[in-house]
Structure 1
Amino acid sequence: MTSPPIAVPWIPPVLYAAVLLGGGYHAAVSDGPVHTARTVGFAAGLVLLLLLEPAEHRRYRHGTPKGVAAALLAARVVLFSVVALLDGSGVSRALFVLVPFTAHLSFGRRAGRLSGAGCVALLVTGYTVGVPHWWVRAAYVSDLLMFVLALALALSMAAVAVREQAGRARLEGVLAELEQSHELLSDFALRVAELSTASERNRVAREIHDSLGHHLTAVAIQLEKAEAFRTLDPPAAAKAVSDARWSAGRALSEVRESVGALRDARPFSLTRALADLVRHLGDERLTVTLEVTGDESGYDAASLTALYRAAQEALTNAHRHGRATRIEVSAAYGESSARLVVADNGRGFPASPQAADRPSRTGYGIRGMRERVELLGGRVDIEDRPTVDRSSGAVVTMTVPRTPLPAGSAGPPPPALSGSWAPGTSTDAIRRRGTG
């Protein structure tokens, strides 16, 4: 199938009209006898050529098999020859210019050149047969040269038309690819938006659980304590109410800090936040100590916040679920990573929940703690082991790199820090004890 462009479709009708006017004018002003039948046949041939044009246009638009294209070209050549024989003016020789033009469009450049050479050979043969010594007559030589020039122009126009069609086809292909790429990008953007929404939903859920959930749990514990000691120990009950009020105020402050972080508020300090948390968590039944080693400057706020939320979750589990009486918190800032350890003497973490008030290693709080730290390229390790006094207990170790790793990458192993998590083993440690 071939589908060349409709290159300047007005050329054939205009050429036919010019040949008709030229031949009619020559017949009208000629001094010889008027050959009516010849003139009518000449005009009829041109009319038939005009009637072929709609078929040529349909071929250009929709494409036709090469056999049909060859038949249409052969019909044109026959009609051109008939018109040229019936034309006494010789103007109809210009019709043969359309032969290489059409052949180039239908069958390619080689066919156009061969048909052009055939037209020149046909004209030379006609001159040789009908005009003795035509090569020494300037008029015939001039006509031949003009005919060759017209053929060259026709072939050039056909080549331009073919290149224009190829360029249009390439442009349409590029536009189709761009449209497809645009659709793919739109689908990709939609999926990214959905994933971003899901990620943000998970982040907000973790924030609510780790921040507000922790403080609300602390408020509930303190209010239960206040109710239990209301008549037995009024000062302890008052202290519990005061601590509950602090936890509620702290929850409100953290909400404000989260909003203020979007407005370039004061940078988050893990050491200050841990000291504040430990100071208000300890009482006469629970001893909480804090040891800080190194300098937290150089760590981004996301890493420090993740460690703080993880510490909140670990402290809540140790206090409320583990029934611990002693909790030791150790924060160490190294050159490449920071490690936070929360160790207690409570009941530890069971592999699977065996009681309603004991969290498992796969509970929502633990899962949220892991997700938050692992998103920064860190890791969380939970271990049940006897403490120094041979009671049961749990050790939660959280490690984050100084420069956050890409999400989903495996975090580094816990670094070897100087000393252990137990307080008093580092000379530059900052130790704080909540005593109630």
Structure 2
Amino acid sequence: MTIRWVSGAVYGVVLLAGLYYVFAGLGEWQPWRVFGFVVGIAALFVFDAVERRSRAAWFLLAKLALFFVVVALDESSLSRVLFVLVPFTAYLTFGRTAGLVLGALCLALLVTSFVVWVPGWYRDANYVSDVLMFCLGLVLAVAMADVAVRERRSSARIAELSAEAERTRLARDIHDSLGHHLTAVSIQLEKASAFADRDPAVAKQALADARDSVAHALDDVRTSVSTLRTGQSLVSALTRLDVALEVEGDEPDLGRAAIMTLFRAAQEAITNARRHGQADQVSVAVTFGKADTRLVVRDDGRGFATDTVHTGFGLLGMKERAALVGGSVTVDSEPGSGTRVAVTVPRS
């Protein structure tokens, strides 16, 4: 897209300059020459419009031929500026070496034409100025092409990193949700198998617990898919966790990654409170501030010593997930006094 915009701008400038030169009386009026000049510029516009992305050299050669035609028909010779597009196009299409080589060839061609048709040109300020301005145009064209190539590579790298981050988040989602539930199902099934003959009641309860874990897993998957696919808001996702929810402020456009980070943190903290903390009451508070979004999960469970917390509780994964979106996690808890988990994610 960049090359077409730059090329079109140069074509337009050359067309206006050539027509002004003629109609302002600065040159001899030759209708056939003016007509051919306009047709040549129009052909360049048409050529760029129908050109498709290709590394074929004939695209560049065809443009070069049209440049020669336009320059030959332009009485003002101002259209020589078209040749600065040659290294620009070559740089973008074939790489830096091709762009620099063709830029040097274009400069050599201009100087050679002066040597052949304008004896003593190097003593004429106008011709020397033309050469210097052409050199400046080549430098700017190559610099613009270099910037465009770097931007293209940076965009590709950013897309690659974004895809990698998305894969990491999805892998963590599977590990934190399905992995947890499947582990529970496996344990309950093993328990049912072990007690099938010795204590049928225990085995039956283990199977019931396994079915509950499967139901929770299915509900978890539905919630995650709904959040990812439909762009569900954070508040809408949190209302499905069946806990007391307090919301302060208006929810901004957080982005899918931030929503999933906060939702998973709340989900993990609630699960820990009920399963490990044996809490009777769990509440979630969300504050949408100007600079960040803060989610706090409180419970009245038995608590734990934060310096000896087991990483299997999922707090480490919670912190890693928050770090991916520039957020942070703090955990306040003491044995017998409940737990408070706070997750902060910047709005940017």
TM-score by length of 2: 0.52
Distance 1:162 1:352 in 2: 79
Paired with 1:329 and 1:310, the residues of 2 have a C-alpha distance of 14
1: CA distance between counterparts of 2:234 and 2:286? 17
For this pair of structures, how many residues does the alignment match? 232
Aligned equivalents of 2:201 and 2:234: distance in 1?
Answer: 44
Does residue 1:341 correspond to 2:341, yes or no?
no
- SS for the counterpart of 1:232 is helix
Unaligned runs of 5+ in 1: 13-100, 109-157, 276-289, 407-436
Give the partner amino acid of 1:373: A
Aligned-partner SS, 1:193: helix
Note closer, same or farther for the CA distance 1:339–1:251 as it changes in structure 2 (3 Å cut).
closer
Mapped pair 1:165 → 2:165: no
Match of 2:201, SS state, is coil
1:299 deviates by 5.3
Contact preservation (8 Å) 2:322, 2:329 = yes
Per the TM alignment, residue 169 of structure 1 is displaced from its structure 2 partner at its CA by 1.0
The whole-number CA distance in structure 1 between the counterparts of 2:149 and 2:213 is 55
1:211 and 2:204 matched: no
Higher helix share: 2
User: 2:278 aligns to what?
Assistant: 325
1:24-423 equivalence runs, <5 A? 102=120, 105=122, 108=123, 158-220=124-186, 222-223=188-189, 231-233=200-202, 236-237=205-206, 239-254=208-223, 256-257=225-226, 260-261=229-230, 269-275=236-242, 290-294=243-247, 298=251, 300=253, 302=256, 303-317=258-272, 322=276, 324-326=277-279, 328-334=281-287, 336=289, 337-343=293-299, 345=301, 348=304, 351=307, 358-359=310-311, 365-374=314-323, 378-388=327-337, 395-400=339-344, 404-406=346-348
Structure 2 CA distance for partners of 1:396 and 1:377, relative to 1, 3 Å: farther
Q: How far apart are the structure 1 equivalents of 2:269 and 2:236?
A: 19
Q: CA deviation at 1:329?
A: 1.8
| Residues 334-388 of structure 1: per-residue CA shift (max 9 Å, x gap) | 46354322446457366467xxxx327xx8x433312433555653212341325
- Rounded to whole Å, the distance in 1 between the matches of 2:319 and 2:186 is 25
Whole-angstrom CA distance in 1 between matches of 2:190 and 2:306:
25
SS of equivalent to 2:129: helix
2:295 match: secondary structure: strand
User: For 1:341 and 1:327, how far apart are their aligned partners in 2?
Assistant: 13
- Tell me the secondary structure at the aligned position of residue 331 of structure 2: strand
| 1:331 partner letter | V
**Residue type of the partner of 2:215?**
W
Q: Which amino acid aligns with 1:5?
A: V
Aligned-residue CA RMSD (Å):
4.0
**Could you tell me which amino acid in structure 2 is paired with residue 306 of structure 1?**
T
**3-state DSSP of counterpart to 1:5:** helix
* Residues 233 and 201 (structure 1), Cα distance of their counterparts in 2 relative to 1, 3 Å cut: closer
User: In the alignment, residue 111 of structure 2 is paired with which amino acid?
Assistant: P
Separation (CA, whole Å) in 2 of partners of 1:350 and 1:335: 27
Change (3 A) 1:269 1:218: farther
Residues 6-61 of structure 1: per-residue CA shift (max 9 Å, x gap): 4544558xxxxxxxxxxxxxxxxxxxxxxxxxxxxxxxxxxxxxxxxxxxxxxxxx
Higher relative contact order (CA 8 A, sep 6+): 1
* Mean CA deviation greater in 184-193 or 165-174: 184-193
* Aligned equivalents of 1:304, 1:344: Cα separation in 2: 26
Deviation at 1:167, TM superposition (A): 2.0
CA gap 1:257/1:226 in 2 versus in 1, 3 angstroms: farther
Contact persistence 2:266–2:284 (CA under 8 A): no
Aligned residue identity for 1:329: V
Identity of aligned residues (%): 28
SS at match of 1:298: coil
Q: Which secondary structure does the structure 2 equivalent of 1:397 belong to?
A: strand
Task: Give me the TM-score of the superposition, normalised by structure 1.
Answer: 0.43
